């Protein structure tokens, strides 16, 4: 690695050192690693000596060589690899999930590969947890809807147990119901995984006296987890007969009285019941308790309709019940509370729901609902945003079904639930933003940095080679190399600052200081470049003023804007820097006599999602990153920035910062 002295990679290595993305450069033919950055070594746990000259296969950094070969084959076929998900292995054996991107680099007649690896393991873990929560809530929603639509909820209990068993992967799920008097209990419903023996016939009229203290444990109203080996002999005899290794039980209460319990057996291994699964099973037990209660009440009062208050409340879901004929809609308490309202605070009509859908999604959601209402689809399901009372937006998974139709098939009643999935969506959005940011950084490194550096090499060869050059030619080449080096340095500096800003490692230190001093200092810094292009610099200070901001970031803002102005102002032009104040802010205006900014670029000039490079006069170039930094730091200091074209030619950049406190 020490012999790897190519100028291109020396410059690239400056961006490697402080990048939070794992970067490496390998020789295409040999596969040997030529250079890696500190993030690569720290995350994978290798030393520089352990990496130098080795191949990724020799180091074993990929969890599966077949995945590595498939990724490389895809790169060979297409010429690039972007955000390819692959598992990597650290030196200590830890497996991490990553996104791999590869681009080729040609230098000194050799082909090298520039690889970017982003560790998405924390995001994968968060995504897994959110998926567990999401599918758990979806299971609860499906169970709730199934039981609610059934005229006799007990007839569907075994289907519910099957849904729970298949979702959790347990061996057996069952419900015990206490017999009259509560001294004995029997299996009323049971589901078994394929290959697991049923126990329903053998578990009838079981006396609690056989298991001293067991019922008392259940009455405590929380789920209990047991390992068969640790149980009293009286209970262990039964669990051994049924091949139970571990099991969990949760009590069922109906109308405030102990009804029985729901149990979950594991017969294949010593299962560890996670908190997520325990919470889910407790919620299901609560739902089943409520529906058992509903069935008893329905048998007692056939004309009454008990809504699923307790079941839905336990799952913290919103429930809606729509009378299609009148438009009247029932919302349970959770529906109101999730939206920030008190129960019953707004009128229960279907329009009260439709009016709260995000305007950009309303048409699509209503179309999806109408397709189900008309019978085109078997159920209704949509993900969209609902407006809360405080004006914020809540992402929901909304699901429903027509449960009653007239003789001609016209809908009479539709019931559904919605689940708050805001946290899941926000995590998804953050992941996408992180990937876009990484792509932009990689794009700048592989394109905006690659161009000027690759152009330096042939010029250096000419200057140091055998070809005779006259003084004008040598001067022209040297000036170009100086300009390219300056631009490359500015880009690297901006890249490092932007990388810090994206990872939150920059902290501002605000204080009072002279604005004129900062402006004068930065005008001095660019004066030499302005003189070369015979550009006039004019500073117009309306009145001396002090500002309250982070001085270093104001220096960066001013320096970037002035540097851009010099790049995009033609020879003999003029740049004017003027100040004024209003409403507690200093206004700094930098205008030039250049050609202005193309309208198609102007709208997205400060956006990380749309910035593009542009060429100035004399083939000077810019990546657009400096303007992104200007916007970020102006806003961090509490100000605003804008860009506009000047009638008659030229452009004007104006930014504000708070005046002295």
Residue 2 confidence (pLDDT): 44
Cα(259)–Cα(243) distance, integer angstroms: 26
* For the chain, percent of residues with pLDDT exceeding 90: 20
The answer to the question of residue 467 being in a domain is no
pLDDT of residue 395: 92
Range 296-308 average pLDDT: 49
pLDDT of residue 244: 85
Is 225 part of any domain? yes
**Confidence at residue 310, expressed as pLDDT on a 0 to 100 scale:** 47
pLDDT at site 640:
94
Q: Where does residue 299 rank: exposed (0-12), middle (13-18), buried (19+ CB within 10 A)?
A: exposed
Same domain, 129 and 114: no
Same-domain status, 347 and 413: yes
Q: In terms of domains, do 177 and 273 share one?
A: yes
* Claim to verify: residue 102 and residue 169 sit in the same structural domain: no
Q: Which residues pair with 206 in a beta bridge?
A: 185
Q: Is the pLDDT of residue 573 over 80?
A: yes
Q: Report the predicted TM-score, pTM, of the whole model to 2 decimal places.
A: 0.36
Any domain includes 141: yes
Are residues 148 and 296 located together in one domain of the fold? yes
Q: How confident is the model at residue 135 (pLDDT cuts 50, 70, 90)?
A: low
In this model, does residue 302 exceed pLDDT 50? no
Statement to judge: residues 336 and 291 lie in one domain: no
Residue 311 domain flag: no
The contacts of residue 429 (CB under 8 Å, 6+ apart) are: none
Mean pLDDT of 211-231: 69
The C-alpha torsion from 358 through 361 and 367 to 372, rounded to 10°, is -80
Q: Is the pLDDT of residue 213 over 80?
A: no
The tens digit of pLDDT for each residue in 147-164 reads 766 655 556 777 888 888
Predicted confidence at residue 449, as pLDDT, reads 54
Q: Regarding beta strands 246-254 and 546-550, do their DSSP bridges make them parallel or antiparallel, or are they unpaired?
A: unpaired
Give yes or no: residues 132 and 101 share one domain: no
Q: Is residue 465 part of a domain?
A: no
Angle at 171 between CA 165 and CA 177, to 5 degrees: 70
Q: 499 φ, ψ to 5°?
A: -60, -40
Final residue before a domain boundary, out of 119, 144, 159:
119
Report d(CA 623, CA 560) in Å as an integer: 12
The pLDDT tens digits for 61-109 are: 998 988 888 988 888 888 889 889 899 999 999 999 999 999 888 877 8
pLDDT tens, position by position, 410-455: 999 998 888 888 888 887 777 776 666 666 655 555 545 555 565 5
pLDDT band for position 655 (50/70/90)? very high
How many Cα atoms are found within 13 Å in the side-chain-facing hemisphere of 348? 18
Question: According to the model, what pLDDT value does residue 122 have?
Answer: 81
Give the model confidence (pLDDT) of 371-403 as tens digits.
999 999 999 999 999 999 999 999 999 999 998
Residue 21 pLDDT exceeds 50? yes
Residue 639: strand, helix, or coil: coil
User: How many Å from the N-terminal Cα to the C-terminal Cα in the chain?
Assistant: 53
451-485 pLDDT, tens digit each: 556 556 676 776 777 777 777 777 777 776 776 67
Please indicate, yes or no, whether residues 279 and 338 belong to a single structural domain of this protein: no
**pLDDT exceeds cutoff 50 at 348:** yes
The proportion of the chain whose per-residue pLDDT surpasses 70, expressed as a percent, equals 78
For residue 574, the model assigns a pLDDT of 94
Residue linked to tokens 């170009």: 480
- 491 or 276, which is more confident? 276
DSSP 610: T
- State whether 397 and 417 are in the same domain: yes
Helices (H), 504-535: 515-532
Q: Average pLDDT over the chain, rounded to whole?
A: 80
Q: In what order do the strands lie in the sheet with 411-420?
A: 329-331, 318-323, 411-420, 393-405, 380-387
Residue 126 has pLDDT above 50, yes or no: yes
pLDDT at residue 290 is higher than 80: no
Q: What is the pLDDT of residue 152?
A: 55
Please report whether residue 135 resides in a domain.
Answer: yes
Domain match, 173 and 262 both: yes
Q: List pLDDT tens digits, range 574-632.
A: 999 999 999 999 999 999 998 888 887 887 787 765 545 554 444 444 556 678 878 88
- Dist. CA 517–CA 661, nearest whole Å: 18
How many separate domains does the chain show?
4
pLDDT at 617: 41
Look at residues 300, 331, 363 and tell me which one is the last residue of a structural domain: 300
Q: Are residues 266 and 320 in the same domain?
A: no
Give the pLDDT confidence of 307-342 residue by residue, as tens digits: 444 444 555 678 888 899 888 888 888 888 889 999
Task: Quickly state the pLDDT bin for 140 (edges 50, 70, 90).
Answer: confident
184 in a structural domain = yes
Domain that holds residue 36: 1-119
Instruction: Express each pLDDT in 189-203 by its tens digit.
Output: 899 999 888 888 888
The HSE-up count of residue 276 (CA atoms within 13 Å, CB side) is 12
pLDDT value, residue 450? 55
Identify whether the C-beta of residue 564 lies closer than 8 Å to the C-beta of residue 626: yes
Taking alpha carbons only, the member of 385, 384, 391, 389 closest to residue 339 is 389
- What gap in Å lies between CA 352 and CA 346, rounded to an integer? 8
Among 167-176, 290-299, 631-640, the minimum mean pLDDT is found in 290-299
Q: What is the pLDDT of residue 447?
A: 47
Instruction: Pick the last residue of a domain from 272, 300, 328.
Output: 300
CATH, residue 54? 3.30.450.20
Three-point CA angle 444, 10, 24, nearest 5°: 65
**CB neighbours of residue 580 within 10 Å:** 16
For range 44-49, the mean pLDDT: 90
Within a domain: residue 152? yes
Q: What pLDDT, on a 0 to 100 scale, did the predictor assign at position 577?
A: 95
Strands 172-178 and 224-227 come out as unpaired
112/143 same-domain check: no
CATH code, 585 = 3.30.565.10
More confident residue, 508 or 440: 508
């Amino acid at each position: 690695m020490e012999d790897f002295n190519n100028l291109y990679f020396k410059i690239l290595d400056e961006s490697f050192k402080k990048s939070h993305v794992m970067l490496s450069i390998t020789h295409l033919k040999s596969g040997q690693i030529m250079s890696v950055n500190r993030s690569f070594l720290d995350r994978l746990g290798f030393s520089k000596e352990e990496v130098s000259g080795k191949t990724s296969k020799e180091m074993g950094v990929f969890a599966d060589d077949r995945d590595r070969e498939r990724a490389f084959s895809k790169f060979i076929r297409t010429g690039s690899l972007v955000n390819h998900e692959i598992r990597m292995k650290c030196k200590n054996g830890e497996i991490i999930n990553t996104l791999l991107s590869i681009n080729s680099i040609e230098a000194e007649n050799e082909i090298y590969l520039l690889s970017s690896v982003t560790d998405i393991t924390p995001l994968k873990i968060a995504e897994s947890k959110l998926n567990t929560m999401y599918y758990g809530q979806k299971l609860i929603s499906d169970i709730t809807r199934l039981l609610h639509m059934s005229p006799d909820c007990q007839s569907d209990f075994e289907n519910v147990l099957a849904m729970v068993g298949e979702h959790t992967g347990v061996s057996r799920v069952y419900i015990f119901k206490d017999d009259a008097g509560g001294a004995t209990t029997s299996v009323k419903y049971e589901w078994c995984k394929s290959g697991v023996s049923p126990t329903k016939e053998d578990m009838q009229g079981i006396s609690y006296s056989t298991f001293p203290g067991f019922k008392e444990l259940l009455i405590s109203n929380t789920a209990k987890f047991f390992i068969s080996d640790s149980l009293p002999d009286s209970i262990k005899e039964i669990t051994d007969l049924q091949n139970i290794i571990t099991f969990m039980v949760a009590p069922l209460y109906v109308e405030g009285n102990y009804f029985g319990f729901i149990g979950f057996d594991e017969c294949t291994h010593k299962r560890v019941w996670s908190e997520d699964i325990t919470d889910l099973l407790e919620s299901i037990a609560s739902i089943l308790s409520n529906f058992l209660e509903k069935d008893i009440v329905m048998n007692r009062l056939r004309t009454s309709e008990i809504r699923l208050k307790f079941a839905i409340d336990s799952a913290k879901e919103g429930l809606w019940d729509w009378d299609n004929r009148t438009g009247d809609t029932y919302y349970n308490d959770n529906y109101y509370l999730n939206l920030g309202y008190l129960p019953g605070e707004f009128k229960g009509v279907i329009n009260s729901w439709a009016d709260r859908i995000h305007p950009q999604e309303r048409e699509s959601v209503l179309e999806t609902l109408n397709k189900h209402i008309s019978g085109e689809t078997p159920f209704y399901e949509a993900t969209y945003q609902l407006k809360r009372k405080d004006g914020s937006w809540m992402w929901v998974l909304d699901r429903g079904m027509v449960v009653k139709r007239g003789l001609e098939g016209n809908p009479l009643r539709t019931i559904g639930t919605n689940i708050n999935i805001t946290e899941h969506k926000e995590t998804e959005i953050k992941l996408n933003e992180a990937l876009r940011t990484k792509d932009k950084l990689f794009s700048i490194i592989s394109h905006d940095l690659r161009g000027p550096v690759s152009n330096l090499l042939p010029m250096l060869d000419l200057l140091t080679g055998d070809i005779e050059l006259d003084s004008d030619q040598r001067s022209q080449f040297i000036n170009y190399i100086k300009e390219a080096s300056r631009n490359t340095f500015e880009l690297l500096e901006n890249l490092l600052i932007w990388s810090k800003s994206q990872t939150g490692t920059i902290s501002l230190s605000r204080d009072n200081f002279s604005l004129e001093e900062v402006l004068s200092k930065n005008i001095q810094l660019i004066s030499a470049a302005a003189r070369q292009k015979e550009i006039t610099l004019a500073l117009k200070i309306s009145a001396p003023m002090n500002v309250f901001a982070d001085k270093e970031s104001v220096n960066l803002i001013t320096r970037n804007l002035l540097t851009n102005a010099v790049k995009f102002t033609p020879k003999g032009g003029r740049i004017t820097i003027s100040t004024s104040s209003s409403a507690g802010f200093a206004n700094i205006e930098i205008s030039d006599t250049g050609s202005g900014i193309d309208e198609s670029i102007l709208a997205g000039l400060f956006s990380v999602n749309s910035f593009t490079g542009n060429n100035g006069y004399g083939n000077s170039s810019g990546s657009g990153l400096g303007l992104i930094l200007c916007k970020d730091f102006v806003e961090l200091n509490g100000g605003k920035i804008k860009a506009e074209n000047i009638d008659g030619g030229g452009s004007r950049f104006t930014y504000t910062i708070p005046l002295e406190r």
